[in-house]
Amino acid sequence: MIDVDQLANTFASSHYEIHEVNRLVIQPRSILREFKTLKYGFLFVMRGEARMTVNGTIYELQSGSVFHAAPGMKMDSRVISETEYEYYAVFYGADKMDDAKEQDVQNALDVHFKMDQAVNPRIVELLAMLQEHAYHSGGMEKLRVKQLFLSILVEVLMGYRQRESVTSPSEQVIEEALSYINVNYMNPLTLDELAETHGMNSKQFSYFFHKYTGLRPIDYVIHHRMEKARDLLKSGNFLIRDVAISVGYPNPLYFSRVFKNKFGVSPSAYADQLERH
C-alpha cells in the first residue's frame, strides 16, 4: 500500500516545475512500443483501459487510475478496451538533491506506482484548468499552475486514502481465511467460495491474500494440502490413494502430479525414500 503521508510530504518538500500538461485520446487496441521515460510524470485516466509495463512490472489502468513514473524507466503500453483510452499526462522536473535528508525526498520521487479510485469530477475540472494555464508565462501563472497541481494531488491522495480505509481488510480477516483453509483443506475449495465467505469479490480477496501472505489463495490451498499429504506419507500407514482423498484429491493421478510439482518426486517415490531411510 502507498504511504499517503510520505507521498504528500515528498511533494510538499521537493522543488519541481510543471513542464507539460497534455490530454490524449488513444484509439482502441493501440500499442505503444517500449521506450525510455525522460521526465517525471503522472497519468490520470479518464476513460478506457490499458495495460502498461514499467521496468517489468505490469499495471492495469482504468477510469480513475493515477499512475506515476520517473525518468529512465522502460515503458510500453497497450489499450485493452474496445473504447477510446483518454488520459491527462502531467510531466514535471525535479531538482537533483545532494543533502542526505533531501535525498530521501528524491528517492521517493524515483519510483513507479499506481493509485486506483473512482473518477473524481473535481480532479477532471482541475486537470482541465491546469492544462489551460500550463503554457502561460509569468510568475503569477507559474504560481497558479503549482497551486492547481497541488490541489490535484490533495484530491488524489485524500480519495485514495478514503478508498483504502474502506476497501482494505485488516490482516485479521486474512488470518481468518488462513484458519478456514487449514480446517477445510480436504473439501473442494474455489477462489469464489473463499472470497464470498470472507466478504469480498474474487479479485479483492486474491489481492489482499497475496499482500499479507505472499501466496495466491489457491496456491496456499495446494501448499497446505501437500504439506498434510507429506505428513501422512511419513507415517507410513496409508495408501497413496487414501492420502490423495484425505487431502482433497479424488483422482490419485492428479494428486501425484501436484505432489511431484511441489516436492520434485512422486508420492510413491517419496514413500520409497522414507522406507530406505
State whether 81 and 188 are in the same domain. no
Among residues 167, 198, 231, the one where a domain terminates is: 167
Residue 167 predicted with pLDDT over 60 = no
Q: Higher pLDDT residue, 99 or 115?
A: 115
Among residues 146, 167, 188, the one where a domain terminates is: 167
Expressed as residue numbers, the domain containing 225 is 171-276
Rounded Cα distance between 43 and 113, Å, is 11
Q: With residue 149 as reference, give the H or E element that holds it.
A: helix 139-167
State whether 53 and 153 are in the same domain. yes
Residue 137 predicted with pLDDT over 60 = yes
State the average pLDDT over residues 72-97.
92
Among residues 167, 184, 214, the one where a domain terminates is: 167
In Å, what is the CA distance from 250 to each residue of 75, 186, 198, 262?
A: 46, 10, 26, 18
Collapse the DSSP code of 27 into the 3-class scheme (helix H, G, I; strand E, B; otherwise coil) and give the result. Answer: coil
Q: Higher pLDDT residue, 13 or 219?
A: 219
State whether 177 and 221 are in the same domain. yes
Residue 160: pLDDT band with limits 50, 70, 90: confident
From first CA to last CA, the distance across the chain in angstroms is 48
State the average pLDDT over residues 26-40.
94
Which stretches of the chain are assigned E, i.e. beta strand? Answer: 16-26, 31-36, 40-47, 50-54, 57-61, 66-69, 74-79, 85-94, 113-115
CATH number of the domain that residue 61 is part of: 2.60.120.280
Closest among 126, 113, 101, 144 to 10, alpha carbons compared: 101
Residue 14: pLDDT band with limits 50, 70, 90: confident
Residue 262 predicted with pLDDT over 80 = yes
State whether 135 and 228 are in the same domain. no
Residue 233: pLDDT band with limits 50, 70, 90: very high
Task: Give DSSP secondary structure letters for 118-146.
Answer: ---HHHHHHHHHHHHHTT--SHHHHHHHH
State the average pLDDT over residues 225-237.
91
* Least-confidence region, from 141-145, 166-170, 272-276: 166-170
Q: What are phi and psi of 186, to 5 degrees?
A: -80, -10
For residue 19, what pLDDT is reported?
95
Beta strand pairing call for 16-26 and 57-61: unpaired
The answer to whether 190 touches 222, Cβ cutoff 8 Å, is: no
* Cell reading at 76: 510500453
Instruction: Give the predicted TM-score (pTM) of the model.
Output: 0.60
State whether 228 and 189 are in the same domain. yes
Q: Higher pLDDT residue, 200 or 82?
A: 82
* Least-confidence region, from 48-62, 108-122, 213-227: 108-122
The percentage of residues in the chain with a pLDDT greater than 70, rounded to a whole number, is 93
State the average pLDDT over residues 112-122.
89
Residue 122 predicted with pLDDT over 80 = yes
State whether 58 and 18 are in the same domain. yes
State whether 156 and 80 are in the same domain. yes
Rounded Cα distance between 182 and 257, Å, is 22
State whether 16 and 116 are in the same domain. yes
The answer to whether 258 touches 222, Cβ cutoff 8 Å, is: yes
Average pLDDT, the chain: 89
For residue 243, what pLDDT is reported?
95
Question: Which range, 103-112, 217-226, 263-272, is most confident?
Answer: 217-226
Grid cell 483510452 is found at 85
State whether 155 and 180 are in the same domain. no
Residue 100 predicted with pLDDT over 50 = no
CATH number of the domain that residue 199 is part of: 1.10.10.60
State whether 230 and 250 are in the same domain. yes
State whether 104 and 11 are in the same domain. yes
State whether 108 and 222 are in the same domain. no
Domain count, the chain: 2
Closest among 192, 44, 56, 55 to 127, alpha carbons compared: 44
For residue 196, what pLDDT is reported?
85
